[in-house]
């Protein structure tokens, strides 16, 4: 279907066990192609966050491989990989640590060695993309949780990655902030892998869906194939999106 296109991200027989022996990933095969938006679904403890942390080398596979643009993640390639794969953590406080929002968003471009004017351009572009240019001089801890989530997204957008990897982007947001985040993500021209329990986000944003359970891919297909299959979703602790329930 994708012809000669190369996956941006590919998991091949990927396994991972935590130091206590817990098997978090048990042979995952998954490709993310340019332009795709894939929802990664599954119950708590399914291995979603572990998979996310493999996408840019925070964790390394115990067996199998993870590659970005055809290049396997290793000690020698991880720096390059992290410039191509932007990981947005579930908790924005894991991502924000500088004295101002501007410095948080500028950290990545500066670390890449961009000259001042180019780094400023990246920051300006990223903060406008998340509609927070007016808080650039504020300290992250003075923002609302929803604003923090958007700034965390901006810190990754400023790197202009080939792939956005988002871990629960709407978790713990109030209804208005949640709607705002969904609309922001829909408006981005980006390839995405999105781990979420928010089935309405998955329906609104993604064209493909993958169900992960007990470290294995239990199902994969188009948005319609997966997100309208009530029996499948229920079996894995998930529910139909509201948009589907209203039709059914």
For residue 216, the cross-strand partners are 213
> Residue 248's pLDDT is what?
55
Q: What is the pLDDT of residue 12?
A: 98
Per-residue pLDDT of the chain (248 residues; tens, 9 = 90+): 455 689 999 999 999 999 999 999 999 999 999 999 999 999 999 999 999 999 999 999 999 999 999 999 999 999 999 889 999 999 999 999 999 999 999 999 998 889 999 999 999 999 999 999 999 999 988 999 999 999 999 999 999 999 999 999 999 999 999 999 999 999 999 999 999 999 999 999 999 999 999 999 999 999 999 999 999 999 999 999 998 887 75
pLDDT at 141: 87
CA distance 14 to 26: 7
In whole angstroms, what is the distance from residue 28 CA to residue 15 CA?
Answer: 7
Q: Which domains does the chain have, with CATH numbers?
A: 9-92+161-247 (3.40.50.300)
In the chain, DSSP assigns E strands to: 9-17, 23-32, 37-41, 63-68, 71-72, 85-88, 163-167, 191-195, 208-213, 216-222
pLDDT of residue 1: 47
């Amino acid at each position: 279907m994708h012809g000669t296109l190369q996956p941006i991200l590919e998991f091949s027989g990927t396994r991972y066990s935590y130091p206590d022996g817990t098997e978090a990933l048990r042979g995952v095969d998954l490709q993310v192609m340019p332009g795709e938006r894939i929802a990664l679904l599954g119950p708590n403890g399914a291995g979603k966050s572990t998979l996310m942390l493999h996408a840019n080398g925070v964790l390394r596979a115990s067996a199998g491989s993870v590659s970005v643009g055809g290049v396997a993640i290793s000690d020698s390639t991880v720096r390059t990989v992290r410039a191509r794969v932007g990981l947005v953590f579930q908790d924005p406080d894991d991502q924000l640590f500088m004295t101002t929002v501007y410095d948080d968003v500028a950290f990545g471009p500066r670390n890449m060695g961009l000259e001042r004017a180019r780094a400023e351009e990246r920051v300006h572009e990223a903060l406008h993309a998340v509609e927070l240019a007016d808080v650039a001089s504020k300290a992250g801890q003075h923002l609302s949780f929803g604003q923090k989530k958007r700034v965390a997204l901006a810190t990754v957008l400023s790197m202009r990655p080939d792939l956005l990897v988002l871990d629960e982007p709407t978790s713990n947001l109030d209804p208005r902030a949640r709607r705002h985040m969904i609309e922001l993500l829909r408006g981005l021209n980006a390839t995405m892998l999105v781990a979420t329990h928010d089935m309405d986000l998955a329906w609104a944003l993604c064209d493909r869906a993958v169900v992960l359970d007990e470290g294995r891919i239990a199902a994969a297909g188009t948005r319609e194939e997966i997100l309208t299959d009530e029996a499948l979703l229920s079996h894995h602790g998930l529910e139909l999106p509201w948009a589907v329930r209203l039709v059914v």
